[in-house]
Amino acid sequence: MSAKRELIFFLLMYLFIRQSESGKAPIESIMPEVVKMPLYRLINDPLGMALGVENVKRKVRMADFQAYKSLSA
C-alpha cells in the first residue's frame, strides 16, 4: 500500500514539474491550459502562489544615479 502511494506521488510530481531542458512540464503537452491550475502553480512557483501578486510593487522608482555621481565627484 505504501509503495503504491509513493509511486502515485512520484508519477504525479513527474507530470507537473517543469523539465530543465524544455522548460515545460510533461502534462503541458497534453493540456496546455494546465498552467492556470492552482496545483501546477503551487508545485512550480510555491512562493509566487503563497505571496501572490498583491504583494508586488507595480510602479517602482529606481534610484537616481546622477545624485550619487555628484556626491562621489
Residue 66 lies in a domain: no
Which residue is it, cell 556626491? 71
**Whole-prediction pTM:** 0.58
pLDDT band at 20 (very low <50, low <70, confident <90, very high): confident
Residue 64 lies in a domain: no
Give the residue-averaged pLDDT of 46-63: 69
Residue 21 lies in a domain: yes
Q: Is residue 67 part of a domain?
A: no
Is 38 a domain residue? Answer: yes
Domain-embedded: residue 33:
yes
Domain annotation covers residue 42 = yes
* Number of domains composing the chain: 1
pLDDT at 70 over 60: no
Confidence grade of residue 3 (pLDDT, cut at 50, 70, 90): very high
Secondary structure (H, E, C), the chain? CHHHHHHHHHHHHHHHCCCCCCCCCHHHHHCHHHHHCHHHHHHHCHHHHHHCHHHCCCCCCCCCHHHHHHHHC
Whether residue 16 is contained in a domain is answered as: yes
Q: Which domain holds residue 18?
A: 2-55
